[in-house]
Structure 1
Amino acid sequence: MKQWTRDLGMGVRFAFAGGREGWIRVLLTAVGVGLGVALLLLTTAIPSAMSARDDREAARTDMSFSGTRIKKADDTLIVGYITTTYHDKSVRGRELEPEGPKSPLPPGLSAFPAAGEMVVSPALKKLLESGDGKVLRERLPDRIVGTIGESGLIGSAELAFYRGAEGLAPKIDGGVVDRIERFGAPQQSKEPLDPVLLLLILVVFAVLLTPVAVFIAAAVRFGGERRDRRLAALRLVGSDARMTRRVAAGEAMAGAMVGLVLGAGFFMIGRQIAGSVELFDYSFFPSYLNPSPLLALLVAVAVPAAAVLVTQLALRGVVIEPLGVVRTTKPSRRRLWWRLLLPLGGLAMLYPMIGQGRDGGNFNQYLTIGGVMLLLVGVTALLPWAVEAVVSRLGVGPVAWQLAVRRLQLSSGTAARMVNGIAVAVAGAIALQMLFAGVDGQYTERKDENVTGAQIAVQLSTGSPVAEAKEKLAATRGVTRVYHLSDGYLGSSRVDPQNFAPVSVGTCAALREVAKLPSCRDGDVFVLRVGDYAYDTDKMVKSGNKLWFDDSDDSATTKSVAWTVPKDFKVVQGTEDSARVGRAGVLLTPAALPSGAAPLLTPEVYLGLDNAVPDAIEYVRNTTAAIDPYQEPIQFTSSVRDENYASIRGGLFVGATCVLMLIGASLLVSQLEQLRERKKLLSALIAFGTKRSTLSLSVLWQTAIPVGLGLVLASTVGLTLGAVLLKMTNTPVSVDWAGVLSMTGAGAAVVLVVTLLSLPPLLRLMRPDGLRTE
Structure 2
Amino acid sequence: MSPRQWARDLTMGVHFAVTGGREGWVRMTLTAVGVGLGVALLLLCTALPNVFAARDRVENARYDYRYSDKSPQKADNTFLTADTDTTWHDDDVRGRLLEPEGKRAPLPPGVDSFPGKGDMVVSPALKDLLASDGAKLLRERLPYRITGTIGESGLIGSHELAYYAGASGLTASSAVHRLTEYGPPDAPAEKTDPVLLLMVLVVFVMLLTPVAVFIAAAVRFGGERRDRRLAALRLVGSDSHMTRRIAAGEALAGALLGLVVGSGFFLLCRQTLGSTEVLGVSVWPSYLDPSPVLAALVALAIPVAAVLVTLLALRGVVVEPLGVVRAAKQRSRRLWWRLLPPLAGLAMLYPMIGKGRKNGEFNQYLVIGGVLLLLIGITALLPWVVEAVVVRLGKGTLSWQLAVRRLQLSSGTAARMVNGIAVAVAGAIALQMLFTGTQSQYTKATGQDTGRVQMQVVFSNPKTLSGVEREFSGTKGVRAAVAPAISSYGDTRRDPENSNGLTVGNCTALRELATLPSCKDGDVFITRTRSHYETPSNAAEIAVVKPGRRLYIDPSYGDSTERGREVPWTVPANLRLVDARKDSLQDANGLLVTPAALPAKAAPALISDGVYLRLDPSVPDAREYVRNTVARIDPLALAFGWSATQENAKYTSIRTGLFVGSAFVLALIGASLLVSQLEQLRERRKLLSALVAFGTRRRTLSLSLLWQTALPVGLGLLLATTVGVTLGSVLLKMTRTPVAMDWSSVLTMTGVGAAVVAVVTLLSVPPLLRMMRPDGLRTE
Is TM (by shorter chain) over 0.5? yes
Aligned partners of 1:70, 1:393: CA distance in 2, in Å?
Answer: 82
Q: Is the 8 A contact 2:37 2:262 kept in 1?
A: yes
Deviation (angstroms), 1:14: 1.4
Q: Partner of 2:252 in structure 1?
A: 253
Q: Deviations over 1:232-280 (max 9, x none)?
A: 1110011111111111111112211221222222111111111122122
Q: Deviations over 1:358-402 (max 9, x none)?
A: 011111111111111111111111111111122222233332222
Structure 1 residues 236-245 or 103-112, which shifts more?
103-112
Q: Partner of 1:267 in structure 2?
A: 266
Q: Is the 8 A contact 2:67 2:186 kept in 1?
A: no
Aligned partners of 1:557, 1:361: CA distance in 2, in Å?
Answer: 56
Structure 1 residues 330-339 or 57-66, which shifts more?
57-66
Deviation (angstroms), 1:93: 0.7
Q: Partner of 2:686 in structure 1?
A: 680
Q: Is the 8 A contact 2:38 2:262 kept in 1?
A: yes
- Give me the identity figure in percent: 62
> Does residue 201 of structure 1 match 2:188?
no
1:476 match: secondary structure = coil
Q: Is the 8 A contact 1:505 1:589 kept in 2?
A: yes
Deviation (angstroms), 1:556: 12
> Does residue 574 of structure 1 match 2:575?
no
Q: Is the 8 A contact 1:529 1:585 kept in 2?
A: no
1:689 match: secondary structure = coil
Deviation (angstroms), 1:444: 2.4
Aligned partners of 2:301, 2:538: CA distance in 1, in Å?
Answer: 70
Correspondence list, 1:345-744, <5 A: 345-447=344-446, 452-486=451-485, 506=505, 509-517=508-516, 524-526=525-527, 543=540, 572=579, 574=581, 578=584, 583-584=586-587, 586-590=589-593, 602-637=608-643, 639-744=645-750
Residue identity matched to 2:49:
P
Deviation (angstroms), 1:672: 0.8
Deviation (angstroms), 1:601: 6.4
Q: Is the 8 A contact 2:378 2:719 kept in 1?
A: yes
| Structure 2: unaligned runs, 5 residues or longer | 490-499, 545-552
Aligned partners of 2:511, 2:146: CA distance in 1, in Å?
Answer: 46
1:751 match: secondary structure = helix
**Cα gap change, 1:464/1:450 in structure 2, threshold over 3 Å: closer, same or farther?**
closer
Structure 1 residues 593-602 or 346-355, which shifts more?
593-602
Residue identity matched to 2:714:
G
Q: Is the 8 A contact 2:515 2:581 kept in 1?
A: yes
Q: Is the 8 A contact 2:38 2:214 kept in 1?
A: yes
Residue identity matched to 2:173:
D
Q: Partner of 1:159 in structure 2?
A: 161
Aligned partners of 1:455, 1:241: CA distance in 2, in Å?
Answer: 76
2:589 match: secondary structure = strand
Aligned partners of 1:667, 1:198: CA distance in 2, in Å?
Answer: 32
1:607 match: secondary structure = strand
**Cα gap change, 1:326/1:140 in structure 2, threshold over 3 Å: closer, same or farther?**
same
**Cα gap change, 1:384/1:528 in structure 2, threshold over 3 Å: closer, same or farther?**
farther
> Does residue 242 of structure 1 match 2:241?
yes
Q: Partner of 2:327 in structure 1?
A: 328
Residue identity matched to 2:527:
F
Q: Partner of 2:294 in structure 1?
A: 295
Q: Partner of 1:173 in structure 2?
A: 173
Q: Is the 8 A contact 1:94 1:162 kept in 2?
A: yes
Structure (1 or 2) with the larger CA radius of gyration = 2
1:460 match: secondary structure = strand
Aligned partners of 1:91, 1:571: CA distance in 2, in Å?
Answer: 44
| Structure 1: unaligned runs, 5 residues or longer | 491-500, 531-537
Correspondence list, 1:123-138, <5 A: 123-138=125-140
Q: Is the 8 A contact 2:514 2:588 kept in 1?
A: no
Structure 1 residues 751-760 or 196-205, which shifts more?
751-760
Q: Is the 8 A contact 2:486 2:607 kept in 1?
A: yes
Structure 1 residues 128-137 or 52-61, which shifts more?
128-137
Residue identity matched to 1:732:
P
**Cα gap change, 1:593/1:233 in structure 2, threshold over 3 Å: closer, same or farther?**
farther
Deviation (angstroms), 1:64: 4.4
Residue identity matched to 2:658:
L
2:457 match: secondary structure = strand
Q: Deviations over 1:271-296 (max 9, x none)?
A: 11111221222111111122222211
Aligned partners of 1:83, 1:191: CA distance in 2, in Å?
Answer: 24
**Cα gap change, 1:93/1:462 in structure 2, threshold over 3 Å: closer, same or farther?**
closer
**Cα gap change, 1:682/1:599 in structure 2, threshold over 3 Å: closer, same or farther?**
farther
Correspondence list, 1:205-244, <5 A: 205-244=204-243
> Does residue 304 of structure 1 match 2:306?
no
Q: Deviations over 1:550-575 (max 9, x none)?
A: 9xxxx99999x9xxxx9x99683636
Aligned partners of 2:756, 2:243: CA distance in 1, in Å?
Answer: 37
Residue identity matched to 1:586:
N
Q: Deviations over 1:272-325 (max 9, x none)?
A: 111122122211111112222221121122111111111111011111000000
Structure 1 residues 706-715 or 520-529, which shifts more?
520-529
Q: Partner of 1:759 in structure 2?
A: 765
Correspondence list, 1:311-322, <5 A: 311-322=310-321
**Cα gap change, 1:223/1:507 in structure 2, threshold over 3 Å: closer, same or farther?**
same
1:329 match: secondary structure = coil
Deviation (angstroms), 1:84: 0.4
Residue identity matched to 2:83:
Y
1:146 match: secondary structure = strand
Residue number among 9, 15, 29 corresponding to 1:7 in the alignment: 9
Q: Is the 8 A contact 1:217 1:306 kept in 2?
A: yes
Q: Is the 8 A contact 2:318 2:324 kept in 1?
A: yes
1:242 match: secondary structure = helix
Q: Partner of 2:495 in structure 1?
A: none
Q: Deviations over 1:212-231 (max 9, x none)?
A: 11011101100000110111
Deviation (angstroms), 1:502: 10
Aligned partners of 2:426, 2:63: CA distance in 1, in Å?
Answer: 41
> Does residue 31 of structure 1 match 2:33?
yes
Aligned partners of 2:530, 2:408: CA distance in 1, in Å?
Answer: 73
Aligned partners of 2:139, 2:632: CA distance in 1, in Å?
Answer: 13
Deviation (angstroms), 1:544: 6.5
Q: Is the 8 A contact 1:485 1:504 kept in 2?
A: yes
Aligned partners of 1:421, 1:116: CA distance in 2, in Å?
Answer: 56
Deviation (angstroms), 1:441: 1.9
Aligned partners of 2:561, 2:379: CA distance in 1, in Å?
Answer: 71
1:41 match: secondary structure = helix
Between Structure 1 and Structure 2, how many residues are aligned?
739
Residue number among 67, 75, 93 corresponding to 2:69 in the alignment: 67
Aligned partners of 1:368, 1:424: CA distance in 2, in Å?
Answer: 17
Aligned partners of 2:447, 2:429: CA distance in 1, in Å?
Answer: 28
1:633 match: secondary structure = strand
Q: Partner of 1:494 in structure 2?
A: none
Q: Deviations over 1:36-90 (max 9, x none)?
A: 1111121232232122111101101123466323333332222121100111211
TM-score by length of 1: 0.89
1:589 match: secondary structure = strand
Q: Is the 8 A contact 1:201 1:648 kept in 2?
A: yes
Structure 1 residues 632-641 or 674-683, which shifts more?
632-641
1:144 match: secondary structure = strand
Aligned partners of 2:352, 2:292: CA distance in 1, in Å?
Answer: 33
